[in-house]
């Protein structure tokens, strides 16, 4: 499943939902509902008014036309190209509306981004981020980390049946327990103090990590062994759940780097107390940021400073355009004294651990982090290879290590070694789509097509929307002259991925059309 299902009880305490908080915290609850986080995710049905008739958006580079319309009370998006048109019902909207909304398609128990997004600043529909470069159709998966930051909580194992109509969320938008932790003990104690996390009572690092979990992206995020996104609890060290790394700083950035930027500011460094909550109260719909600034700086403005009634934020925290998201701007959290001041650049060939504590994460975590940035330069590939070598010595039976070694052996055409290592990776529970894909290829290269077919079918059962597994399976079946089964596989593939022009043409030839 692409959202991470969590057990009903973790660490001995259950979530109860924001509805249990509202009776005792009515004013806060009402303000929260109107806040950006309280509107972080919603039903697509709430946004039907943004669709005027049928809105079409062309993608000339892709030779595609996308459109959005309302039909029988539901939102639908369509992708059309030469010889095909494909519709999907849109179920969910991600975003508070400050910059706009992206939309989500639910297919069984998997979630995918829809091709069109609504951009609030210009009041228009346009291609979702990334769709101007590649045709993802309705098959761009939404990862568990995205869902955990944008929604309140995934639905528990006991609450979901895997049916298309089941919402995958126990709480749609970010809720009270996202920042205060599970509320069962607090409710049972009649709201007694000390029975739930109050971020204001935490030390600065722990309090900031509640925000940092979603507002600090980094260049690589690695879950610790055995952990999921759902395992983090407010008040715990974030480093006990996920390791966040960044490359040495080469430019200022605002995209999900809010906490790192704030830590570079003089306000943060000199105050010793400033944290996210110094300026942000998540319970408020609107915040007077000028008043927040003057609570520290009143009476300290120099004689040449712009008028005392000026807006602090527009000069010291200006919004900047986000290059990878059209019509979007984010606030500069570095708080420069003068707008032209830039953050100091860094050099070096080591990743920076953004949320590192005194406890080392270890070789396995670092190997994954360097693997995530390996394509950004040969120095990072070298670091990845170094960590992989160490991991192979320290953790020779780890499933991820075996799968990584197997992929390297496959790339180096050591097919027998690849088969052995990839098979062991699956045996040790590393059952991910790419491992089945690699093992299928290695088996075929060693003349074991029948076993390759079995492995690829197993992979499809685990990852039913992984396109390469279907194409690999069809190719192996053709090599075995099992043309009927190959055709069935291609038909299933085209049904799932109609945007693939090459396979549609191939199927047409195979079918004699």
pLDDT number for residue 249: 82
pLDDT number for residue 313: 85
Query: What tokens appear for 250 in the block?
Result: 């080469």
| pTM higher than the cut 0.85 | yes
Asked if residue 450 lies in contact with residue 480, where contact means CB atoms within 8 angstroms, the answer is yes
Asked if residue 117 lies in contact with residue 127, where contact means CB atoms within 8 angstroms, the answer is yes
pLDDT number for residue 169: 81
Name the DSSP letter for residue 94: E
Query: What tokens appear for 461 in the block?
Result: 């059962």
pLDDT number for residue 157: 41
Asked if residue 85 lies in contact with residue 76, where contact means CB atoms within 8 angstroms, the answer is no
Whole-number Å distance between alpha carbons of 380 and 19? 47
pLDDT number for residue 2: 40
CATH H-level superfamily of 396-510:
Tetratricopeptide repeat domain (1.25.40.10)
List every span in the chain annotated with CATH 1.25.40.10.
396-510
Whole-number Å distance between alpha carbons of 152 and 15? 11
Residue recorded with tokens 């009270």: 176
What are the 10-residue block averages of pLDDT along the chain, 513 residues in total? 37 80 92 89 94 92 94 96 93 90 90 94 92 91 85 59 60 92 94 93 94 90 91 94 90 71 89 92 83 82 68 83 65 80 77 89 96 95 97 97 98 98 98 97 97 98 96 96 95 94 86 66
Residue 445's CB: how many other CB atoms inside 10 A?
A: 15
pLDDT number for residue 5: 37
Query: What tokens appear for 327 in the block?
Result: 């019509």
Half-sphere exposure (Cβ direction) of 292: Cα atoms closer than 13 Å: 16
pLDDT number for residue 341: 72
pLDDT number for residue 322: 66
Half-sphere exposure (Cβ direction) of 278: Cα atoms closer than 13 Å: 17
Asked if residue 468 lies in contact with residue 432, where contact means CB atoms within 8 angstroms, the answer is no
Residues with Cβ within 8 Å of 429's Cβ and at least 6 positions away in sequence, in order, are: 399
pLDDT number for residue 85: 94
Asked if residue 72 lies in contact with residue 201, where contact means CB atoms within 8 angstroms, the answer is no
Polymer length of the chain: 513
Whole-number Å distance between alpha carbons of 240 and 227? 9
């Amino acid at each position: 499943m692409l959202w991470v299902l969590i057990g009903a009880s973790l660490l001995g305490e259950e979530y109860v939902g924001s509805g249990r908080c509202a009776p005792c915290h009515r004013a806060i609850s009402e303000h929260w509902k109107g806040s950006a986080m309280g509107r972080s995710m919603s039903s697509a049905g709430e946004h039907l008014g943004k669709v005027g008739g049928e809105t079409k958006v062309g993608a000339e580079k892709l030779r595609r036309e996308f459109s959005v319309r309302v039909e029988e009370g539901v939102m639908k998006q369509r992708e059309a190209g030469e010889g095909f048109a494909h519709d999907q019902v849109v179920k969910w909207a991600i975003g508070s509306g400050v910059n706009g909304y992206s939309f989500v398609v639910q297919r069984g128990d998997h979630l995918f981004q829809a091709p069109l997004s609504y951009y609030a600043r210009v009041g228009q529909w346009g291609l979702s981020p990334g769709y101007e470069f590649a045709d993802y159709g309705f098959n761009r998966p939404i990862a568990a980390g995205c869902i955990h930051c944008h929604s309140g909580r995934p639905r528990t194992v006991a609450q979901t049946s895997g049916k298309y109509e089941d919402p995958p969320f126990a709480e749609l938008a970010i809720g009270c327990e996202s920042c205060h932790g599970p509320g069962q003990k607090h409710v049972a104690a009649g709201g007694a103090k000390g029975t739930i996390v109050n971020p204001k009572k935490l030390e600065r690092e722990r309090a900031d990590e509640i925000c940092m979990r979603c507002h600090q992206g980094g260049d690589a995020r690695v879950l610790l062994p055995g952990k999921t996104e759902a395992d983090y609890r407010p008040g715990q060290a974030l480093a006990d759940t996920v390791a966040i790394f960044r490359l040495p700083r080469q430019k200022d950035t605002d995209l999900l780097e809010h906490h790192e930027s704030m830590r570079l500011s003089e306000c943060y460094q000199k105050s010793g107390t400033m944290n996210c909550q110094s300026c942000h109260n998540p319970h408020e719909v609107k915040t007077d940021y000028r008043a927040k600034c003057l609570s520290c700086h009143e009476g300290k403005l120099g004689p040449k400073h712009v008028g005392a009634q000026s807006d602090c934020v527009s000069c010291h925290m200006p919004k900047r355009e986000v290059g990878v998201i059209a019509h979007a701007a984010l606030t500069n959290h570095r708080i420069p004294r003068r707008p032209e001041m830039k953050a100091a650049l860094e050099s070096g060939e080591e990743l920076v651990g953004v949320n590192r504590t005194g406890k080392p994460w270890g070789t396995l975590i670092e190997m994954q982090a360097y693997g995530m940035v390996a394509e950004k330069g040969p120095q990072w590939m070298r670091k990845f290879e170094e960590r992989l070598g160490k991991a192979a010595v320290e953790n020779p039976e780890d499933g991820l290590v075996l799968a990584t070694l197997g992929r390297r052996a496959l790339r180096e055409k050591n097919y027998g070694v690849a088969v052995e290592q990839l098979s062991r990776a699956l045996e040790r529970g590393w059952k991910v789509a790419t491992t089945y894909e690699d093992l299928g290829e290695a088996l075929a290269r060693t003349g074991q097509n029948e076993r390759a077919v079995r492995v690829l079918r197993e992979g499809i059962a685990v990852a039913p929307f992984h396109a390469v597994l279907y194409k690999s399976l069809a190719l192996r079946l053709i090599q075995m002259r099992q043309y009927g089964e190959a055709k069935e596989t291609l038909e299933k593939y085209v049904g799932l991925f109609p945007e693939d022009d090459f396979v549609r043409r191939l199927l047409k030839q195979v079918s004699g059309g």
